[in-house]
Every structure is written in structure tokens, then in C-alpha cells.
């Protein structure tokens, strides 16, 4: 993609541009934007053409930026952001005039100027429901674009901009850590409703400290502070812990702090089902003969 201004800066005269259009070397996309070599545009080509059409300081944003980052499907409508001081009418492109975009809010991906993953998810936060926003945060982490801790730190620099409060509430549900006493206070009633006796807490088992254990059932429950982000080192350590417990004949369950705090019914149902599995004799299992 190239603009008429860029062609002129490269030394082509208006007549030379017309000649190349006539010979199908340049293909007009917008009045001042051309595709080079062939008229068919990829999705990225359409995005770049829209950015070039709207002029200096334009970046791909909102749902189009989300699609570029892999956070959702391309919805067809192209959205861009431009500086507030400028005014552009470029239907069917949806143009957002922005008071300011910090240096860190803008980057380049696949050669296309675009809002950063942080800025993109903040822009989406005012449109998405809670489930959609959680999915976006999850995808950002899964794709390695930005983890919850970095996301939260970035929000602290944005103040009270639209979307920040909603995104912070979503992160609070999944990245906070309960204190041991608060965790016990919330989890123990769930365990009782599931028909379990009072567990032992913070016990050393197989060389590891566990959150909850029912020795008579051979059941261990661990809680993770982060729903989305576990570093490779943390994941490896968790696997070693779980494998040591399983090798010793224990059943291990993991819940997030957010599940304990906000999804008690689901935790209770899981506990009930696991207890039934543990306590129901199965033919051929050791100890059943």
C-alpha cells in the first residue's frame, strides 16, 4: 500500500502516477491510496489502506486492532483512531478522534500502526460484557502479548479513562490473593456444604506445604492466585507438587482464589463429585478385594 504523497516524494510526477494506474501497476483503493502490483487486498492490506487514507498519526484501533492482535474475529468494519486536532470523513471507515495517545499506546504489528495490546483491551472494555472481557484478558496472556500483572501496572498509568475501571474489576477477580485466614473463611463453608469434614490446613505433605488436606480421604486441595498467568517455572513446580502427591496415592484438586471467592457453587459441585469418586468402590481397584 502507498499514498499519492509518498509516490510524489519518491519522484513520480502526477502524469507518471496516472500512467502506472492505466498500466495496472497501481490500483486505486481510496482517492489518495493505491495498492501496488495487484488489486486484490488481504485483510492486512485493507487495514493498512484505511490507516493511510486517514493520514498522519492514524492507527488501527478497537475491534480492528483486536483482530490484528488475535483477540477476535474481523467484523468487517474497519476502525481507526486519529489525533483530536484532525477531522477526517472516510466512510465506511469508522474514525475515532482521540484526545491523546501516549507513546506506549501505539506500536507497529505486521507493518501496520496499531494501538498496543493494553490500549486495545482498554478500548474494548467499554463494549464487552464481563465474559467477553475475561476472554480478551485470557487471550492476551495466552498469546504472550501482556500478562495480568503488566496489564494492571499499565492501568495505573491511565487514570480514569473509559474502560479502565471495568478492566481493573475484571483483573481483581482473577489476580488477587486471599490471605490464608480469609481463604479458609471462604473455602471451609463450601467444603462443609459439599459434605466434607473440616480439613487440615497448611500441612507439610510429601515435602510440600498444601492449602487443605483430608487425610482420611486422601484428598488435597490447592489454590492458585492467578487464573490466567502462570510462568513456566511456576507451572513446572506445580506439576512436580501434584505428581508427588499422586504418586503417594492422593487425589489433587486445584482451584483459583477467584473460584473460591466468586464461584462457590461450582467449587462445591466439583468437591461433591470427586468425593463420590473417591469413596465409591470400583471392581479391580486395589483394596476392593
Which of 125, 155, 173 is at the close of a domain? 173
User: Same domain for 161 and 185?
Assistant: no
Q: Please give the C-alpha separations between residue 77 and each of 42, 60, 63, 169, in angstroms, as whole numbers.
A: 14, 11, 8, 29
Do 235 and 250 fall into the same domain?
yes
Distance CA 252, CA 243 (A): 9
Given pLDDT bands bounded at 50, 70 and 90, which one contains residue 4? very high
Same domain, 231 and 247: yes
User: d(Cα 284, Cα 289) in Å, to the nearest integer?
Assistant: 7
Which of 145-149, 172-176, 213-217, 224-228 is predicted least confidently?
Answer: 224-228
Rounded to the nearest integer, the mean pLDDT of the chain is: 87
Claim to verify: residue 208 and residue 148 sit in the same structural domain: no
Average pLDDT over residues 139-163: 84
What's the whole-model pTM score?
0.66
- Give the residue from 26, 32, 77 showing the smallest Cα distance to 56: 32
Is 212 found in the same domain as 262? Answer: yes
Q: Are residues 272 and 200 in the same domain?
A: yes
Q: What length does the chain have?
A: 289
* pLDDT at position 196: 93
> Which of residues 255 and 282 earns the better pLDDT score?
255
Q: Does residue 43 sit within a domain?
A: no
Burial of 258 (0-12, 13-18, 19+ CB in 10 A): buried
Which of 148, 173, 198 is the endpoint of a domain?
173
| CATH code of the domain covering residue 223 | 3.40.960.10
Percentage of residues in the chain having pLDDT higher than 70: 92
Q: Does 39 have pLDDT greater than 70?
A: yes
What pLDDT does residue 286 have? 44
Give 119's pLDDT tier (boundaries 50, 70, 90): very high
b/e per residue, 9-48, with b = 16+ CB within 10 A? Answer: eeebeeeebeebeeeeebbebbeebbbeeeeeeeeebbbb
C-beta of residue 136 within 8 angstroms of C-beta of residue 148 = no
Instruction: Look at residues 55, 113, 120 and name the one whose alpha carbon lies nearest to residue 88.
Output: 55
CA distance 241 to 201: 16
* Structural domain contains residue 184: yes
- 215 and 275 housed in the same domain: yes
- CA 214 to the chain's CA centroid: 35
**How large is the C-alpha radius of gyration of the chain?**
27
Tally of domains within the chain: 2
Whether the per-residue pLDDT at 288 is higher than 70: the answer is: no
User: Last residue of some domain: 127, 157, 173?
Assistant: 173
Do 168 and 191 share a domain, yes or no?
Answer: no
**Does the residue 63 lie in any domain?**
no
What is the four-CA torsion angle of 195, 198, 201, 204, rounded to 10 degrees?
A: -90
Print the domain residue range for 188. Answer: 180-279
Whether residue 205 is contained in a domain is answered as yes
**In terms of domains, do 249 and 268 share one?**
yes
Q: What band does 287 get if pLDDT is binned at 50, 70 and 90?
A: very low
Q: What is the pLDDT of residue 84?
A: 85
Q: What is the pLDDT of residue 188?
A: 92
DSSP state of 222: E
- pLDDT given for residue 229 in this prediction: 53
Question: In terms of domains, do 214 and 246 share one?
Answer: yes
**191 shares a domain with 151:** no
| Per-residue model confidence as pLDDT tens digits over 179-215 | 777 888 889 999 999 999 999 998 999 999 999 999 9
Chain centroid to CA 95 = 24
Examine residue 189 and state whether it is found in any structural domain, yes or no: yes
Amino acid at each position: 500500500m502507498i499514498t499519492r504523497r509518498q509516490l510524489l516524494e519518491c519522484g513520480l510526477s502526477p502524469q507518471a502516477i496516472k500512467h502506472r494506474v492505466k498500466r495496472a501497476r497501481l490500483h486505486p483503493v481510496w482517492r489518495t491510496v493505491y495498492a501496488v502490483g495487484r488489486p486484490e487486498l488481504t485483510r492486512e492490506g485493507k487495514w493498512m489502506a484505511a490507516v493511510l487514507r486517514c493520514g498522519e498519526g492514524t492507527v488501527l484501533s478497537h475491534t480492528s486492532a483486536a483482530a490484528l492482535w488475535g483477540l477476535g474475529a474481523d467484523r468487517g468494519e474497519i476502525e481507526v483512531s486519529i489525533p483530536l486536532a484532525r477531522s477526517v470523513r472516510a466512510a465506511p471507515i469508522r474514525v475515532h478522534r482521540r484526545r491523546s495517545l501516549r507513546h506506549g499506546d501505539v506500536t507497529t504489528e505486521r507493518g501496520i500502526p496499531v494501538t498496543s495490546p493494553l490500549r486495545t483491551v482498554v478500548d474494548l472494555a467499554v463494549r464487552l460484557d464481563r465474559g467477553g472481557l475475561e476472554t480478551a484478558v485470557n487471550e492476551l496472556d495466552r498469546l504472550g502479548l501482556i500478562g495480568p500483572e503488566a496489564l494492571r501496572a499499565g492501568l495505573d498509568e491511565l487514570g480514569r479513562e473509559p474502560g479502565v475501571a471495568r478492566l481493573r474489576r475484571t483483573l481483581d477477580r482473577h489476580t488477587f490473593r486471599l490471605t490464608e485466614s480469609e481463604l479458609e473463611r471462604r473455602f471451609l463453608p463450601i467444603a462443609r456444604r459439599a459434605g466434607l469434614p473440616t480439613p487440615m490446613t497448611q500441612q507439610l505433605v510429601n515435602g510440600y506445604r498444601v492449602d487443605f488436606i483430608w487425610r482420611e480421604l486422601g484428598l488435597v486441595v490447592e489454590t492458585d492466585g492467578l487464573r490466567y498467568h502462570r510462568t513456566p517455572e511456576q507451572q513446572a513446580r506445580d506439576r512436580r507438587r501434584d505428581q508427588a502427591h499422586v504418586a503417594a496415592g492422593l487425589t489433587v484438586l486445584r482451584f483459583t482464589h477467584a473460584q473460591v471467592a466468586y464461584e462457590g457453587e461450582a467449587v462445591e459441585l466439583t468437591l461433591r463429585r470427586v468425593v463420590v469418586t473417591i469413596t465409591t468402590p470400583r471392581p479391580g481397584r486395589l483394596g476392593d478385594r
